[in-house]
Amino acid sequence: MTSGQFLETPLHQWHVDNGGRMVEFAGWSMPVQYASIVAEHHHTRTKLGLFDVSHMGRLFFSGHDVDQYLDALSTRRIVGVEPGKVRYSLICNDDGTILDDVLIYHLAAGGSFAAGDEQSDSFYMMVCNASNRAKINQWFADHLPAQSNLQIDDRTESTAMIAVQGPEANNVVASIASIDPAALSYYCGTVCKVDGGDAILSRTGYTGEDGCEMIVHSAVAAAVWQKLHDAAKFIGGGATGLAARDTLRLEAAMPLYGHELSEEINAAQTELRFAINLKGRSFAGRDAIASAMAEKTLPVRVGIELEGRRPAREGCNIIAADPTNQEVQEVQEVIGHLTSGSLSPTLGVPIAMGYIRPQYAVVGTELLIDIRGKSVAAKVVELPFYKRKDH
Amino acid sequence: MKPEELKFAHSHEWAHIAQTDGKQIATVGISAHAIEALSDVVYMELPEVGAEVTAGASFGEVESVKATSDLFSPVTGKVIEVNTSLPDNLEVLSTDPYGQGWIIKVEITSDTSVESLLDFVAYEAICNE
């Protein structure tokens, strides 16, 4: 699994052999791109892209009342969610700041992925960010109820995870899976077979395209990837690296931990209302999040589009624009900062996300972005920047 | 221009030095190796004509989808011409990095800046390290 300093996914050799430019990411050696970032971005939106996301944490839970245990640590309601459903949630500190964003799966038991010894009809698992795997393991372990039989099984290093995204993604996966991913509703998942082996499949993704994500055992991952890749190449898709993954998720306005989400940010600021269920619930950070939502004084997440072609990047200051004053302003008031930014390959314009004082967070508000000392005109726009046609 | 005729900086810029009217004029661009490493160039920020440039110091920026990179001047002098059509035509950097992909022309004011530049063979050797 490891040679040299970094962890390697089961697909590492394939990346190296197929032009992957390998970089360190969260302690793993990962492909940032193969040939061209823009080409990979486009083939994902027009055909399909394959992503090795095996570095992400995969935690399996077993024991009594797992649902209540997870519910108490999750901004999203988990109790009462039926098997077959996947929930996007934030995991927060007691002060409402964000430890991670995760997917929590409740799945009907089946095959070798069922967790624990208990003969249970269903089980829970969680996918977390690679950069937070140790932290999340620790947080969940620290919050195990006393005298419970709950267990956390981190199976990151014995499994692989592959995302297949794009208009042709589900067709390609259907050709080697026991079910058609298109038969799953959005944010639903199931245990099934892929290439004859046990797998977990979910209609989820991080690109704004249709498609699915699969978890398979490490030993079979390279063979599964090769089959998917051959089918993808045949119709004009292909392997997609971390750089294109970033431009794709940015266009879809999906937050990235370490950028839009961090322990410096209260969940209330994120404009992810759908992921926060307050009513009638008690969970870590709940009261701090509820207060922040009521007070509305903290900066909030917005989408920004800039004029011209010059990309702005995370860290750039957002400055209040004064359209009545064409002269250089002596005092430029900083009202926020960017957390992500790039030239959008699909839209052809520079886009960014950032946090801004709430009074400026209105669609249409004119802004200036300070890019290395130069002020560029910009405005607050609706999110997402990109929406696929059938959505 | 052929890369074999050019001088190179460690930071991957190339310079073609020519004598015109008793002055040394450097035409400056970025090497094919650097363009390939950058991949997906989307924007370039160029200096104004008349700007002073110093060998080893930044004279502009090039943006790829992923990141911003400084352009470092291989020579010391004054900018006398800028390739203004380049920012709207960035593919030329990939198709003709040593010809139409030229970025600025500099009237050299310090001879010594040229001495530390590499020839193509030495530059290739660094790239292959």
Domain boundaries, chain B: 3-127
Q: Domain check: are A229 and A160 in the same one?
A: yes
Q: Domain check: are A275 and A391 in the same one?
A: no
* Angle of helix A242-251 versus helix A37-46 axis, rounded to 10: 60
Last residue of a domain, one of A267, A296, A325: A296
Q: Domain check: are A154 and A38 in the same one?
A: yes
* Residue of chain B with shortest Cα separation from A344: B65
Q: Give the tokens for residue A169.
A: 């993604």
Q: Please judge whether B63 and A345 are an interchain contact, meaning their C-beta atoms are less than 8 angstroms apart.
A: no
Q: Domain check: are A190 and A339 in the same one?
A: no
b/e per residue, A273-310, with b = 16+ CB within 10 A?
A: eebbbbeebebbbbebbbebbeeeeebbbbbbbbeebb
Q: Domain check: are A28 and A55 in the same one?
A: yes
Q: What CATH number corresponds to the domain at position A356?
A: 2.40.30.110
Domain limits for position A242: 1-296
Q: Please judge whether B42 and A313 are an interchain contact, meaning their C-beta atoms are less than 8 angstroms apart.
A: no
* Residue of chain A with shortest Cα separation from B88: A309
Q: Please judge whether B43 and A309 are an interchain contact, meaning their C-beta atoms are less than 8 angstroms apart.
A: yes
Q: Give pTM, 2 decimals.
A: 0.93
How far apart CA A158 and CA A198 sit, in angstroms, is 13
Last residue of a domain, one of A238, A270, A296: A296
Among B66, B69, B71, B89, pick the best mutation site for testing chain A contact (most A Cβ within 10 A): B66
Q: Domain check: are A152 and A267 in the same one?
A: yes
Q: Give the tokens for residue A283.
A: 């969970």
Q: Please judge whether A36 and B39 are an interchain contact, meaning their C-beta atoms are less than 8 angstroms apart.
A: yes
Q: Domain check: are A283 and A303 in the same one?
A: no
Q: Domain check: are A202 and A250 in the same one?
A: yes
* Residue of chain A with shortest Cα separation from B90: A309
Which amino acid makes up residue A157? E
Q: Domain check: are A282 and A328 in the same one?
A: no
Q: Domain check: are A334 and A203 in the same one?
A: no
Q: Tens place of pLDDT for every residue, chain A, 391 residues? A: 555 789 999 999 999 999 999 999 999 999 999 989 999 999 999 999 999 999 999 999 999 999 999 999 999 999 999 999 999 999 999 999 999 999 999 999 888 877 555 567 899 999 999 999 999 999 999 999 988 899 999 999 999 999 999 999 999 999 999 999 999 999 999 999 999 999 999 999 999 999 999 999 999 999 999 999 999 999 999 999 999 999 999 999 999 999 999 999 999 999 999 999 999 999 999 999 999 999 999 999 999 999 999 999 999 999 998 755 555 454 578 999 999 999 999 999 999 999 999 999 999 999 999 998 899 999 999 999 999 987 6
> What's the CATH architecture for B3-127?
Beta Barrel (2.40)
Q: Domain check: are A219 and A313 in the same one?
A: no
How many domains, chain A?
A: 2
> Who's near A94: CB < 8 A, 6+ residues apart?
A284, A285, A288
Last residue of a domain, one of A232, A265, A296: A296
Q: What CATH number corresponds to the domain at position A188?
A: 3.30.1360.120
Residue that the structure tokens 């797992």 belong to: A66
ipTM for the complex shown = 0.84
Q: Domain check: are A316 and A288 in the same one?
A: no
Distance from CA of B106 to the nearest CA of A (A): 24
